Amino acid sequence: MIPFTLPATKAHAYALSRTMRAEDREEVWARSRQSPLEALMDSIATSEMAFTLKFEDEIAAIWGVRGRGVLDPFACIWGLTGQVVDRFPIAFYRESKKAVALARKQYPFLANTVDARYERSLRWARRLGFFVLKPEPAGVHGELFHPIVLGAT
């Protein structure tokens, strides 16, 4: 199995929205009350870079980065995953490291928030080098999210 990455498209968003992990669906809903497709389309449209990761011709993830304002050094890195990543955890980890490295070339400071219930994603963020802060209300109805940050080293 050779993973490959290509620029994210609307067709990729449609495909991933049908196979998205349950935890990602729940996180999207808690954050913005959007469907998986709405969240993917909005994220792709508002990102300076957005890529699709495929394993065995299945969409494993779509990720991207939205830049921040001049006074805010952190860019927002985001990613939504499909069920296929569970079949290829080592390959997914390697590709995730490459994605973070690529993002950091343009944006040395990265941040986002993760649903406090999404333990698997929080472990993943820590493994990729992100510092996970204490949860705070951030969802539409005050759901708890952990800020995650990764600074220049």
CATH assignment of the domain containing 68: 3.40.630.30
For residue 50, which amino acid is it? A
Q: What percent of the chain has pLDDT over 90?
A: 82
The tens digit of pLDDT for each residue in 81-120 reads 999 999 999 999 999 999 999 999 989 899 999 999 999 9
- Residue 63's nearest CA partner among 119, 101, 29 is 101
When pLDDT is averaged across residues 28-56 and rounded to a whole number, the result is 95
pLDDT given at position 67:
83
pTM passes above 0.85:
yes
For the chain, what is the mean pLDDT?
92
- The number of domains in the chain is 1
Stretch 61-84: mean pLDDT = 88
- Asked if the model's pLDDT at residue 2 lies above 80, the reply is no
Q: How many CB atoms lie within 10 A of CB 65?
A: 24
Look at residue 17 in the predicted model and tell me its pLDDT.
Answer: 98
The domain containing residue 126 runs over which residues?
4-150
Q: DSSP character for 134? A: P
